[in-house]
Structure 1
Amino acid sequence: MTETFKLSCFERSLWLSFSGFIAIAVLAEGHPEGLIITIPFLLIALSDLYPANSEKQPPQN
């Protein structure tokens, strides 16, 4: 049995705002290639919206 990682709406908004802050700071410094650093934060924020296991599992009684 696998547990899914769920973020609350507040936690998701914190991760998204943090990654947005980093993106703005990186762009302000003039290094657009540095935006790759925001990818892990976006993946964490969106991880429970798109679960890795997309197969339908039978309900557990």
Structure 2
Amino acid sequence: MRGIDDDEEVERALRYLVDSFESSGDNPKPVILHSTRVGMDLYDRGTGPASSSPASSTTCWRTRP
């Protein structure tokens, strides 16, 4: 279950996402909705981004404790 601190962090992330897409120009695809759905699905599954390995350019994923 998410706490108030988690909800506030998610809200800040969504505001950043929306501001970034608004300033970058028009995109005909529903990028914000898709990004939100995927991000919340991953959050609910208990996965999150880990730091990228210096030897790799791909993002690693790890299970949250």
Normalised to the residue count of structure 1, the TM-score between the two structures is 0.47
Query: Which structure has the highest strand share of the two?
Result: 2
Normalised to the residue count of structure 2, the TM-score between the two structures is 0.45
**Computing the radius of gyration over CA atoms, which structure comes out larger, 1 or 2?**
1
